[in-house]
């Protein structure tokens, strides 16, 4: 009997130890921690930059992530490590101003999002018929843009060719291109994807900016920086504004010189015969 009782007691002991560890494990599994950027904290809710709002416990602990010291209420732009209890209530927020790496299973807390209305599809996000020329891109990626421009054969070998853009306030000398050969110049730029810019090419001033093929001013070319590793943009300049067949608008800060019938501007004068 004693032996039987010992076996039963031992079995109960083993079961109780097993049960305790299982329950403890399941209790731990109910606690979820994620990192997120704070959008707002008010009225008993904390909002992440995903736009989702979560209920905050009345006795929520708001501390500094590094020191663990109590911190003030969360502010927009701050990052936080946020702990949810099993019922989806936020019980702890650890704040920092430094960007936090993504951590935690966000999918596990989606069920705790508080929103009054039933989610509905957004027709704006359906494919569009007359969309922008630039397709949607994932912004923020560093992309190498190789720009090559074919210039008129009349472009002097020693001339500089520039690119002017709306990104640089149409500064005519914002980006200098490098000569590639007799007819081509090129430049490499590092830009963020999602950038939309308008560009024109010139030879250092808006008086020497490119003209359209029909001699009228060229509308700026739109460039959309996609999310690839590298992109190319090629264009042809047919005419420069200061290289027209007739007289051209003078370059600023120069006054025309008197008419010279000779095509050599620095022709040495012939020696005057000795008397």
Residue numbers 115-144 binding another protein by CB under 8 A: 115-122, 124-140, 144
Site stretch for another protein (CB under 8 A), options 8-16, 59-67, 87-95, 193-201: 193-201
Residue placing its CB nearer to another protein in the complex, 20 or 178: 178
Q: Are strands 32-42 and 45-48 parallel, antiparallel or unpaired?
A: antiparallel
Does 146 interact with another protein (rule: CB under 8 A)?
Answer: yes
Q: Are 152 and 182 in contact (CB under 8 A)?
A: no
Residue placing its CB nearer to another protein in the complex, 2 or 260: 260
Q: Are 134 and 197 in contact (CB under 8 A)?
A: no
Residue placing its CB nearer to another protein in the complex, 25 or 245: 245
CA–CA gap between residue 267 and residue 125 (Å, rounded)? 70
Phi and psi (nearest 5°) for 226?
-80, -170
Residue placing its CB nearer to another protein in the complex, 25 or 125: 125
What residues contact 34, with CB distance under 8 A and at least 6 apart?
Answer: 81, 82, 84, 103, 104, 105, 106, 109
Residue placing its CB nearer to another protein in the complex, 90 or 225: 225
For 28, the token pair is 């731990």
Residue numbers 245-264 binding another protein by CB under 8 A: 245-256, 258-259, 261-264
For 138, the token pair is 């994932």
Does 213 interact with another protein (rule: CB under 8 A)?
Answer: yes
CB of 174 to another protein, least distance (A): 6
Residue numbers 22-81 binding another protein by CB under 8 A: 34-37, 39-45, 47-53, 75-77, 79
């Amino acid at each position: 009997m004693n032996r039987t009782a010992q076996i039963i007691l031992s079995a109960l002991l083993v079961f109780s130890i097993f049960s305790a560890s299982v329950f403890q494990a399941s209790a731990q599994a109910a606690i979820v921690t994620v990192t997120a950027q704070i959008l707002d904290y008010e009225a008993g809710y904390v909002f992440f930059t995903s736009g989702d709002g979560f209920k905050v416990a009345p006795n929520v602990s708001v501390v500094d992530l590094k020191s663990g010291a109590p911190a003030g209420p969360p502010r927009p732009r701050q990052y936080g490590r946020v702990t949810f209890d099993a019922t989806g209530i936020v019980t702890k927020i650890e704040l920092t101003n430094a960007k936090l790496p993504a951590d935690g299973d966000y999918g596990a807390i989606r069920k705790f999002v508080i929103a009054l209305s039933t989610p509905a599809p957004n027709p704006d996000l359906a494919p569009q018929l007359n969309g922008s020329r630039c397709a949607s891109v994932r912004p923020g990626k560093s992309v190498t843009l190789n720009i090559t421009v074919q210039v008129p054969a009349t472009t002097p070998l020693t001339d500089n060719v520039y690119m002017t853009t709306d990104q640089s306030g149409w500064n005519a000398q914002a980006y200098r291109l490098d000569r590639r050969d007799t007819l081509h110049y090129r430049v490499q730029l590092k830009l963020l994807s999602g950038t939309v810019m308008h560009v024109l090419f010139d030879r250092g001033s808006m008086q020497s900016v490119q003209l359209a093929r029909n001699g009228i001013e060229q509308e700026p070319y739109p460039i959309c920086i996609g999310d690839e590793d590298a992109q190319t943009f090629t264009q042809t300049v047919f005419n420069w504004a200061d290289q027209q067949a007739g007289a051209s608008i003078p370059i600023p800060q120069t006054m025309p010189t008197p008419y010279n019938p000779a095509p050599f501007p620095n022709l040495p004068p012939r020696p005057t015969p000795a008397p």
